[in-house]
Amino acid sequence: MDSARSLPSVWRILNAWIVGIVVVFLLLPILIVIPSAFNTDPTVTFPIHGFTFKWFANAIFRAEFIRSFFLSAAVSVVATLISLAAGGLAAYAIVRRSFRGKAILELVLLSPLIFPSIVLAIALTMVLGSLGLLRTFPGLIVAHTIVTLPYAVRAMVGTFHSIDPDLEEAAAVLGARRVFVWREVLVPLLRPGLLAAAIFSLIMSFDEFAVSFFVVGPGMTTLPIELFNYTEFYADPTICAVSTILIFLSALAVFAIERTVGLAKLLS
Amino acid sequence: MTTATKDTPLSVLLIPASVIGCLMVLSAVLMLGISVLDSFPGWTGLTLEHYRDFFENRFLLQAGLRTISLATVVTLICLLLGYPVAWFLALGRSKIAHLVFLAVLTPLIVSIVVRMFGWTILLGNEGLLNKVMVGLGIVSAPVQMMRSFWTVAIGLIHIFLPFMILSLTSTLGRIDPSLAEAAATLGSRPVRSFLQIILPLSAQGIATGSIIVFCLTTGVYLTPLWLGRGNVTVLATAIQQQILETGDWPTGAASAMLLTFFTLLLVAGYSVLIRRLGRR
Amino acid sequence: MLGQIAIAALSVHSVAKSLGGARVVKDVSLAIKPGEFISLLGPSGCGKTTLLRMIAGLEMPDSGTIALGDKDITTVPVWERNIGVVFQNYALFPHMTVAENIAFGLRTRKVSKTAIEAKVRDALKLVRLNDFGPRSTDKLSGGQKQRVALARALVTDPKLLLLDEPLGALDRKLREQMQVELKMLQREIGITTLMVTHDQEEALTLSDRIAVMSDGKILQDDSPKEIYERPRDAFVADFIGMSNLMKGRVAELDGKKRLAVSEKVILDLPSEVNSATDVSIFVRPEKLSLAEVPGAAGSSLPGRIVHVSYSGSVTHCFVDVGLQEPLTVLITNKSNHEDAGHRIGEPIWVHWDARNIVVL
């Protein structure tokens, strides 16, 4: 360790302590859910008093959970695909072209990042209501696409900036037509950025609460809202079991990302 | 621009995003429109009365102030906890730094519902923290921690701390390490180097991280609802009640617009600040 | 002018350092006399920068001592050493003006405001940037940044000046100009200076002494002339300037020492050679010459020109003499109107003077 960059030992120890505390703070509320899912007690407590799988059974055999899980999955996948396609094209135009109203488009596309989500939620409820899309699958798709598009645009703008424009020109000089350039040059180079945008968008959408809260209805409810509703009436570890399954799925995703592109590289 | 890059028509590139963009703009315009109607549905004229109503309505005003203080507290604590971690991540190239980085990113991937539930297990009356405190004899009976301002704050810090750390790490990582070394060779002790070199140079990351956390906090809905359980009313939940329960659309819309204006003002102020910092 | 510079000697005594498990500096000793300009020259990764960083106090040696004047500074923290350092990328504080950058070291020393102003003005004058004080550092050219870094390092009257590849980021023309400026400045204030560089020409021009480093060790520590003319081993010979290296066996012939490079190629050797059997010899390209006729036996070799490389003032001819590598011969282009007339494929004789041959 070089002595100029590192702080004196007192500060270094303090720094290490804060890092440790933050890591515990970030992980503890996630990890504590897992043992609670196996508790025999009908209330959520810790430490646990016995070992059982019955809450998992309860979670898996509850039709609402299954239905809402698959609805959430379907909504997030469709919303992500739309965001990536629309966001990718728009990002390309923002980075490589100059056109009138570019600044406005950028502002509009990125605004939900600063637009309070509750405002967006209520406004969207009215728009979707007047279009007759409330409590429908297309309505949910529209709502989620609006939430995820800014993240997709942002990630893709960054990626397009990192791609040398000369490459496209080189491809053109070599006789490649437009579609060919996109398929053979741009998309392969965009892949890490696309992946990052896709993962972010999937997470955002799967987790979306505020906007969906107003758009969903009976038989058309996403998982986070179904879980929230459940906790309004019950306080048993079924939610822990569902959470444990979700954590397991997240861990699988993290593992897959870490093995393929590297989480750190993806999000930097 | 060469002919090669002109091939794809601009309309093909822009129409998909513009459709979605128009929906957003439409939503915002609609909200603004409703906020100046004298009543909704069934309006007869335009008025700014509902903006005054907000300031005269104790419930809304309190929720607004609580939202701002919540956002302030969350932002400050995220900054204080996040800076040392970002410092550690920006300097360290070790295996440990990589693991800490993974730990910081993990919450981003776990559903917020799961995390809220984890906090319930930790902070509930029957929760781990109460058990530990009673067990150690710090308190005689479980303390009611849920449904309080600070529980909501903790939940929000948990959600937004990774954003803050990522923002700060990228800024700190971009600072040339030889600057601190140069300061040291010029006779500057580490604490002074930190205050005079590192801190001013990371001002932009601090500003970006703070603005993201502050803005996102003012708009959150689920966390106050879940961890507050009706006891911690922030503007987002108040607006929802105003519109869906009281049915007072215009006042709710006016509150929402005020929240939006406030956020926009903050972002504008931030851009000015950044430009000023950049000019130095 | 700046205030009194306390000129000090530097002595590094068997210093070693490992970084990330690799031994970067291996038992290095080095002594610099007061006012001397010495260069650490070597390829990247040879440990020269680590050695400089240990002297500056930015790294702690694993073993050995470093003394400045008569004071052991091995464990003194950087900020108490008062050693001026010019970093490779200049490390100018981007959020401060030129004047604020220069004043930084004075402010850490709690110098009064008026004294700071005067000293900063003097320092700016010294590096010929008189009116640049209020400017922002990011609008400066490379050469100007370099001068600000130099002024900042010198304004605190350090006992020693360390330069880490100070001219590496400049283009060739500017680099040559800055070399002259730097040397004149150093001589004017007389400060003991240690420069790290991988540019042999820079080291030769600027230094009173050069220490050639490779693989964590100092291979040779001598005056530029000695380093160039009498390199101690093949690495030094090859690293500095162009050279022709040949391996061969020493044999006595007609009472004279000869070197048999191959069965046909037998060369005269300088008389002081010891009777080692297998040796390497080396000769600089400018110490060879070309002619169409052979010289005295043992002082010329027949060959064929395989490549000619014209570079303005000089021309390099590569001559195949039946060895593994062609010999490089440097010809000075003295005449505008007469063509030296060496063409590829032309048979030619390479001549040399045995006194210019160095046995390694």
CATH of the domain at C253: 2.40.50.100
Mean pLDDT of C267-294: 78
Burial class (CB in 10 A: 0-12, 13-18, 19+), C130: exposed
Given C219, C238, C257, the domain boundary residue is: C238
Which of 112-151 (A) contact B at CB < 8 A?
Answer: 112-124, 126-127, 142, 145-146, 149
- Chain B residues near any Cβ of chain C (below 8 Å): 176, 178-179, 181-190, 192, 196-197, 200-201, 280
Q: List CB contacts (< 8 A) between B179 and chain C.
A: 91, 93-94
Q: What is the pLDDT of residue B1?
A: 42
Q: List CB contacts (< 8 A) between B190 and chain A.
A: 4, 6-8, 11
Mean pLDDT of C175-202: 89
Of the candidates B176, B179, B185, which has its C-beta nearest C56's C-beta?
Answer: B185
Q: Is residue C1 part of a domain?
A: no
Contact A2 C53 (CB under 8 A): yes
Q: Is residue B38 part of a domain?
A: no
| Residue in C76, C104, C138, C154 to test binding to B, most B beta-carbons within 10 Å | C104
How sure is the predictor about C275, in pLDDT bands with cuts at 50, 70 and 90?
low
Contact C82 B187 (CB under 8 A): yes
Contact C60 A3 (CB under 8 A): yes
Q: Which residue range(s) make up the domain with C66?
A: 10-238
Q: Is residue A56 part of a domain?
A: no
Given C183, C205, C238, the domain boundary residue is: C238
CA C155 – CA C119 distance, rounded (Å): 7
| pLDDT greater than 80 at residue B6 | no
Comparing A268 with B47, the larger pLDDT belongs to B47
Q: Is residue C5 part of a domain?
A: no
Burial class (CB in 10 A: 0-12, 13-18, 19+), C313: exposed
What is the three-class DSSP state of B200? helix
* Dihedral over alpha carbons C120, C123, C125, C128 (to 10 degrees): -120
Mean pLDDT of C346-357: 83
Minimal-distance CA residue of chain C relative to B94 = C20
Q: What is the pLDDT of residue B95?
A: 81
Minimal-distance CA residue of chain A relative to C18 = A1
Is omega for the bond preceding B41 within 30 degrees of 0, making it cis?
yes
CA C281 – CA B96 distance, rounded (Å): 53
**Number of domains, chain C:** 2
| pLDDT greater than 50 at residue C313 | yes
Q: List CB contacts (< 8 A) between C58 and chain A.
A: 2-4
- Alpha-carbon A222 to chain mean position: 14
Q: What is the pLDDT of residue C38?
A: 94
Mean pLDDT of B44-63: 88
Give the gap in angstroms from C-alpha B203 to the nearest C-alpha of chain A: 18
Instruction: Kindly report, residue by residue over B75-119, the tens digit of the pLDDT.
Output: 999 999 999 999 999 877 678 888 898 888 888 878 888 888 888
How sure is the predictor about C67, in pLDDT bands with cuts at 50, 70 and 90?
very high
Contact A2 C59 (CB under 8 A): yes
How sure is the predictor about A262, in pLDDT bands with cuts at 50, 70 and 90?
low
The pair of three-digit structure tokens given for residue B204, joined into one six-digit string: 């932009």
How sure is the predictor about C1, in pLDDT bands with cuts at 50, 70 and 90?
very low
Q: Is residue A94 part of a domain?
A: yes
Helix (H) / strand (E) element for C311: namely: strand C300-311
Minimum mean pLDDT range among A234-238, B271-275, C101-105, C202-206 = B271-275
Q: Is residue B1 part of a domain?
A: no
Residue for token pair 């150690």: B136
Q: What is the pLDDT of residue C162?
A: 94
Share of chain C above pLDDT 70, in %: 94
Q: Is residue B16 part of a domain?
A: no
Q: Is residue B136 part of a domain?
A: yes
Contact C91 B176 (CB under 8 A): yes
Answer positive or negative: Cα dihedral of C242, C244, C245, C251: negative
Of the candidates A29, A108, A116, which has its C-beta nearest B119's C-beta?
Answer: A29
Dmax (CA) for chain B in angstroms is 78
Instruction: Name chain C's partners: 3 or more CB pairs within 8 A.
Output: A, B
Q: How far is CA B96 from CA A19, A28, B275, in A?
A: 11, 18, 36
Q: Is C81 on the interface with B (CB under 8 A)?
A: yes
Q: What is the pLDDT of residue A4?
A: 40
Give the gap in angstroms from C-alpha A104 to the nearest C-alpha of chain B: 10
Mean pLDDT of C228-256: 81
Q: Which residue range(s) make up the domain with B124?
A: 46-172+191-279
Minimal-distance CA residue of chain A relative to B20 = A146
Do C253 and C207 fall into the same domain? no
Share of chain A above pLDDT 90, in %: 15
Contact B185 C78 (CB under 8 A): yes
Of the candidates B178, B192, B201, which has its C-beta nearest C89's C-beta?
Answer: B178
| pLDDT greater than 70 at residue C334 | yes
| pLDDT greater than 60 at residue C356 | yes
Of the candidates A119, A165, A267, which has its C-beta nearest B260's C-beta?
Answer: A119
Give the gap in angstroms from C-alpha A94 to the nearest C-alpha of chain B: 9
Give the β-pairing of C314-320 and C300-311: antiparallel
Backbone phi and psi for residue C196, each to the nearest 5 degrees, phi listed first: -100, 130
Instruction: Name chain B's partners: 3 or more CB pairs within 8 A.
Output: A, C
Mean pLDDT of C243-264: 75
Contact A5 B91 (CB under 8 A): yes
Which ipTM value was assigned to this complex?
Answer: 0.86
Contact A168 B4 (CB under 8 A): yes
Q: A-C interface: how many C-beta pairs under 8 angstroms? A: 12
Do C222 and C246 fall into the same domain? no
Domain containing residue A201: CATH number: 1.10.3720.10
- Alpha-carbon C216 to chain mean position: 16
| pLDDT greater than 80 at residue B257 | yes
Give the gap in angstroms from C-alpha A103 to the nearest C-alpha of chain C: 28
Q: Is residue A49 part of a domain?
A: no
Share of chain B above pLDDT 90, in %: 18
Q: Is A174 on the interface with B (CB under 8 A)?
A: no
Do C130 and C154 fall into the same domain? yes
Q: What is the pLDDT of residue A150?
A: 85
Minimal-distance CA residue of chain C relative to A5 = C58
What's the one-letter identity of residue A118? I
Domain containing residue B253: CATH number: 1.10.3720.10
Mean pLDDT of A231-260: 82
Q: Is residue A268 part of a domain?
A: no
Q: List CB contacts (< 8 A) between A7 and chain C.
A: none
Do C231 and C295 fall into the same domain? no
How sure is the predictor about C148, in pLDDT bands with cuts at 50, 70 and 90?
very high
Share of chain B above pLDDT 70, in %: 95
Query: At CA A226, angle to CA A223 and CA A230, rounded to 5?
Result: 140
Mean pLDDT of C75-95: 89
Q: What does pLDDT average to over chain B?
A: 85
| Inter-residue long-range contacts of C247-255, CB under 8 Å, 24+ positions, other chains counted | C247/C278, C247/C279, C247/C280, C248/C278, C248/C279, C248/C280, C248/C281, C249/C277, C249/C278, C249/C279, C250/C275, C250/C276, C250/C277, C250/C278, C250/C279
Minimal-distance CA residue of chain C relative to A4 = C58
Q: What is the pLDDT of residue C55?
A: 93
Of the candidates B188, B189, B201, which has its C-beta nearest C94's C-beta?
Answer: B201
| Residue in B24, B225, B229 to test binding to A, most A beta-carbons within 10 Å | B24
Q: Which residue range(s) make up the domain with A210?
A: 63-233
Comparing A141 with B40, the larger pLDDT belongs to A141
Q: What is the pLDDT of residue B265?
A: 87
Q: A-B interface: how many C-beta pairs under 8 angstroms? A: 294
Instruction: Please name which of A147, A138, A142, A140 lies closest in space to residue A116, comparing C-alpha atoms.
Output: A147
Q: What does pLDDT average to over chain C?
A: 85
Minimum mean pLDDT range among A140-144, A174-178, B159-163 = A174-178
Contact B118 A203 (CB under 8 A): no
Q: Is residue B9 part of a domain?
A: no
| pLDDT greater than 70 at residue B278 | no
Any idea what DSSP says for residue C79? G
| pLDDT greater than 50 at residue B5 | no
**Number of domains, chain B:** 1
Of the candidates A112, A142, A209, which has its C-beta nearest B221's C-beta?
Answer: A209
Q: List CB contacts (< 8 A) between B175 and chain C.
A: none
Q: Is residue C321 part of a domain?
A: yes
Do C252 and C195 fall into the same domain? no
Question: Is residue A185 within 8 Å of A169, Cβ to Cβ?
Answer: no
Do C51 and C66 fall into the same domain? yes
| pLDDT greater than 70 at residue C35 | yes
Do C45 and C190 fall into the same domain? yes
How sure is the predictor about A263, in pLDDT bands with cuts at 50, 70 and 90?
low
Q: List CB contacts (< 8 A) between B201 and chain C.
A: 94-95
Instruction: Please name which of A135, A201, B69, B180 lies closest in space to residue C78, comparing C-alpha atoms.
Output: B180
What's the one-letter identity of residue C204? L
CA C295 – CA C86 distance, rounded (Å): 52
- Alpha helices in chain A, H assignment, sequence order: 9-31, 33-36, 54-60, 63-96, 102-110, 117-130, 137-162, 165-173, 178-181, 187-207, 210-215, 223-233, 238-260, 263-267
Minimum mean pLDDT range among B133-147, B236-250, C104-118 = B133-147
| pLDDT greater than 90 at residue B157 | yes
Question: Is residue A206 within 8 Å of B111, Cβ to Cβ?
Answer: yes
Q: Is residue A261 part of a domain?
A: no
CA A62 – CA A67 distance, rounded (Å): 9
Mean pLDDT of C40-50: 90
Contact A114 B253 (CB under 8 A): no
**Number of domains, chain A:** 1
Q: Is residue C3 part of a domain?
A: no
Q: How many CA atoms lie within 13 A of A194 on its CB side?
A: 14
Instruction: Kindly report, residue by residue over A28-61, the tens digit of the pLDDT.
Output: 999 988 888 888 888 777 777 888 888 898 888 8
Give the gap in angstroms from C-alpha C82 to the nearest C-alpha of chain B: 7
Give the gap in angstroms from C-alpha B279 to the nearest C-alpha of chain A: 22
Give the β-pairing of C314-320 and C327-332: antiparallel
CA C70 – CA C74 distance, rounded (Å): 12
> With b meaning 16 or more CB within 10 Å and e meaning fewer, what string describes C329-354?
bbbeeeeeeeeeebeeebebbbbbeb
Given C200, C221, C238, the domain boundary residue is: C238
Q: What is the pLDDT of residue A80?
A: 94
Q: What is the pLDDT of residue A3?
A: 42
| pLDDT greater than 60 at residue A2 | no
Q: Is residue C4 part of a domain?
A: no
Q: Is C105 on the interface with B (CB under 8 A)?
A: yes
Sheet of C10-19: strand order equals C22-32, C10-19, C63-68, C71-72
Q: B-C interface: how many C-beta pairs under 8 angstroms? A: 68
CA A126 – CA A133 distance, rounded (Å): 10
| Residue in C58, C162, C164 to test binding to A, most A beta-carbons within 10 Å | C58
Q: Is residue B21 part of a domain?
A: no
How sure is the predictor about A125, in pLDDT bands with cuts at 50, 70 and 90?
confident
Q: Is residue A196 part of a domain?
A: yes
The pair of three-digit structure tokens given for residue A2, joined into one six-digit string: 């070089």
The pair of three-digit structure tokens given for residue C153, joined into one six-digit string: 């390092």
Mean pLDDT of C128-148: 89
The pair of three-digit structure tokens given for residue C289, joined into one six-digit string: 């010459």
The pair of three-digit structure tokens given for residue A247, joined into one six-digit string: 């954590």
Helix (H) / strand (E) element for B205: namely: helix B203-219
Do C44 and C170 fall into the same domain? yes
Give the gap in angstroms from C-alpha C234 to the nearest C-alpha of chain A: 35
